[in-house]
Copies of this chain bind each other. A is one copy, B any other.
Amino acid sequence: MPYQAPIKDMLFVMNELANLQAVSELPGCEDATPETAEAVLEESAKFVAGEIAPLNHEGDKEPSYWTKDGVITTKGFKEAFRQFADAGWQGLQHPTEYGGQGLPKLVGTPCVEMLHGANLAFALCPLLSDGAIEALLTAGSDEQKATYLEPLVTGKWTGTMNLTEPQAGSDLAAVRTRAEPQGDGTYKIFGTKIFITYGDHDMTDNIVHLVLARTPDAPAGVKGISLFIVPKFMVNADGSLGARNDAHCVSIEHKLGIKASPTAVLQFGDNGGAIGTLVGEENRGLEYMFIMMNAARFGVGMQGIGLSEHAYQHALAYAKDRVQSRDLTGSPSGVAIINHPDVRRLLMNMRSQTEAARALAYVGAALYDAAHHSADAEVRAENQAVYEYLVPVIKGWSTELSQDVTRDGVQIHGGMGFIEETGAAQHYRDSKILTIYEGTTAIQANDLIGRKTVRDAGKVAKGLIAQVRATEAELAKLEGADFAAIRKHLSQGAADLEAVVDYVVANIKADIKGVFSGSVPYLKLAGIVLGGWQMARAAVISQQKLDAGDGDASFYKAKIATTRFFADHFLTQSSGIRTSVIEGSAGVLALDIEQF
C-alpha cells in the first residue's frame, strides 16, 4: 500500500498548534517560515512516496543479509540512501557549517515522520546517524568534528550507537567492553556489542561506531563508562579512508519485524584491537550517550506515529474498497466495509490516536527549538524542562499506541490481514520493536517518574496541567454537544493526571516499589491527557476557523469529530488508570516469586 504523507494535518499541527511562526522568529531559525516549511514538506513527501515507500514491503520480503564480507542490504536500499543523502535530507536539522540545512526541529520532525511512515527499516539508519551527530556536536573535539561531522551530516557515512552487550541489556552499569590507552591518544577497544542497528551495511563506504567502553582504572558502574569513536575504516588526514579497523559484524539477528534493518553483533578487537578515540572526557560516556539517546527517543516516538499513519492509510484504503455484507440500515446489496460501525470505530481509533500523538510530538519539537534558540536563557530553560518531561511520553505513548493501531489495521483487513502479502501484518510486526529499543516503555516511565516528576516535585507536570485548564476555559466558550463532551472528559483527565502526579511525588520515598508499579499507567495517562489536550486545542481552533469561514471546512469539521471521538474513547479511560495507579500497587506486588 503506497504511503502518502498527511501534509494537510502536519501543516495544521505545525502552524496552529506548535506555532511555527513563533519558531521562525527565533534567532537562527529565520529561514523556517511557514512558506518554506510547506515547500520542504511537499518535497519530502514526494521523495519518500517515490523512492522510499516502495521499498518497504520489499525489505520485509527480502531482508538484509549477512556475508563474511559484510551485510548486504535489501535491493534498492543502497541507491535510495544515496538519493536521500544527495538531496540533503540527512542534514535537515543539522548545522550548515557541516553541510546541513540548519532547519529547526519543528520543520525536521514532519520529514522524519514521513520517512519512518514510508519505511521504518530504512529510516532507522538516518535516525542513528542523527544521534551520533548530536553527540559529536556536543562533546566531540575539534579534530573529531572536522573528521566525522560533514560525512555524517551529508550522509556520506552513517553512525551507530553501541551500548548493549550480551550480559547487559538496558543495564549500562554492566558494560564490560574495554578501552586500553595506547599512549598516542588512541585506544584499543575489546568487546562484544549486540543489537547494533545498521551495525554493518553496504549503503556507505564507512560507518562511525560510537561505543561505550571502560578504561583500565574506571570506577565500577555507570560512572566508569567512556564514549569512543570507532570507525569501520580508519580515516586519513585528508579525509580519505585508510585501513580496515578491527570491528566486525559476526552475525545479524532473525527478527519479528524491521527485517531490512540489519541488527548486528559487532566484535571489537578480535584481531589485536579496534582503534578508537575518546569522545569528550573519560567516564562521562553515559552523559554523552544520553544526548544520542534522547534524540533517538524522540525519533522512535516519530516512528510510532509514522507507522500508525501508514497502517491507518492501508486499512482505510481496504475499508473503502472491500465490499461485504449489507448496510445495517438496509441496502440492496453489499457495501464497502467502511460503512459498518465497528470498522468505522477501528478506523477512528487509528486516526484519532495518530493525530493526537502527532500533535503532542510536534508541540514537543517546538519546545526543543525554543530551548535551543531563544535569546532568553530563562525561556530556554523553561522550554527545555517541558521538552524533557514530554520526551518519555512521546516515546513511550506513541509507540505503545502504534501497537494498538497496527493491530486494529490487521483486524480491519479480516482474514486478508493475516496473509503476509497484504502487508498489514508487516506493520503489526514492525511495531513491536518500538516499545523496546532506545529504552523500553518501563524505562521511559521510570525516567518520567524519577527525573521528570519527582526531581522537581511535579512542577513541570503541574505547569502543563494548568495549560490544560486554560484550554478547558476556551472549550467552555463554545456551544454544542461535541465541545461539552470534549470539555467534560478533558477536565476529568486533567484532574486524574494531577491526582497521579501528587500521588507520585507524595509516595516515592515511603513506597518506591508501589509508585513504580504504576509507572507505565502514569505514562499512558499523561499521553492520553496531553494528547487529548492538543486535540482539544485543535478542535477549538477548528471551530474558530469555521466561524470565520476560513479555509477547508471539511477538514476542520473532521478535526472536531476526531477530537470528540478521542475524548469519548480515550480520555474516558483516565479515571480507571488513576485508580489503577493510586490504588493498584498492592495487587502488582502481592505475590512472592515462588507463588508465580
- Taking CB atoms, residues of chain B closer than 8 Å to A566 are 587
A587 with B562: CB separation less than 8 A: yes
- Taking CB atoms, residues of chain B closer than 8 Å to A517 are 341-342, 344-345
A256 with B591: CB separation less than 8 A: no
B344 with A589: CB separation less than 8 A: yes
A561 with B587: CB separation less than 8 A: yes
Chain A, interface SS category:
helix
Interface positions, chain A 341-357, Cβ under 8 Å from B, are: 341-345, 347-348, 351-352
Cα distance, A586 to B345, chains bound together (Å): 10
* With A255-B420, A320-B596 as contacts: A428 and B432 at CB distance below 8 Å: yes
Cα distance, A267 to B412, chains bound together (Å): 27
Cα distance, A173 to B485, chains bound together (Å): 40
Cα distance, A257 to B417, chains bound together (Å): 11
Interface string of A419-459 (1 = CB under 8 A from B): 11100010011001101110011100110000000000000
- Taking CB atoms, residues of chain B closer than 8 Å to A595 are 554, 557-558, 561
- Taking CB atoms, residues of chain B closer than 8 Å to A584 are 565, 568-569, 572
A174 contacts partner chain B, Cβ-Cβ < 8 Å: yes
- Taking CB atoms, residues of chain B closer than 8 Å to A558 are 591, 595
- Taking CB atoms, residues of chain B closer than 8 Å to A446 are 342
B442 with A343: CB separation less than 8 A: yes
- Taking CB atoms, residues of chain B closer than 8 Å to A589 are 341, 344
- Chain A interface size range: 35 or more
Interface string of A149-189 (1 = CB under 8 A from B): 00000000000000010001111011000000000000000
Q: Please give me the residue from chain B that is nearest to A194 by CB atom.
A: B415
- Taking CB atoms, residues of chain B closer than 8 Å to A417 are 256, 432, 436
B442 with A415: CB separation less than 8 A: no
Q: Please give me the residue from chain B that is nearest to A592 by CB atom.
A: B554
Among B164, B171, B316, B519, which residue has its beta carbon within 8 angstroms of that of A415? B164
- Taking CB atoms, residues of chain B closer than 8 Å to A580 are 568-569, 572
Interface centre among A414, A485, A558, A566 (most CB of B within 10 A): A414
Stretch at the interface among A30-38, A93-101, A117-125, A321-329: A321-329
A594 contacts partner chain B, Cβ-Cβ < 8 Å: yes
- Taking CB atoms, residues of chain B closer than 8 Å to A561 are 586-587, 590-591, 595
- Taking CB atoms, residues of chain B closer than 8 Å to A334 are 171, 174
Interface string of A490-522 (1 = CB under 8 A from B): 000000000000000000000011101101100
Stretch at the interface among A67-75, A289-297, A368-376, A403-411: A403-411
A169 with B579: CB separation less than 8 A: no
Cα distance, A316 to B302, chains bound together (Å): 31
Query: Separation in Å of the A221 CB from the closest CB of chain B?
Result: 10
Cα distance, A169 to B419, chains bound together (Å): 14
A254 contacts partner chain B, Cβ-Cβ < 8 Å: yes
Q: List 26 A-B pairs, Cβ < 8 Å.
A: A169-B415, A171-B334, A174-B324, A253-B418, A316-B596, A328-B512, A328-B513, A338-B596, A341-B516, A342-B442, A342-B446, A342-B520, A345-B588, A414-B440, A417-B436, A418-B436, A425-B432, A554-B595, A561-B591, A562-B587, A564-B587, A564-B590, A568-B586, A568-B587, A569-B587, A576-B576
* Beyond known contacts A340-B442, A345-B517: 14 more, CB 8 A cutoff: A171-B324, A254-B421, A255-B420, A256-B420, A316-B596, A338-B593, A339-B593, A342-B441, A557-B595, A564-B586, A567-B587, A569-B584, A572-B576, A572-B580
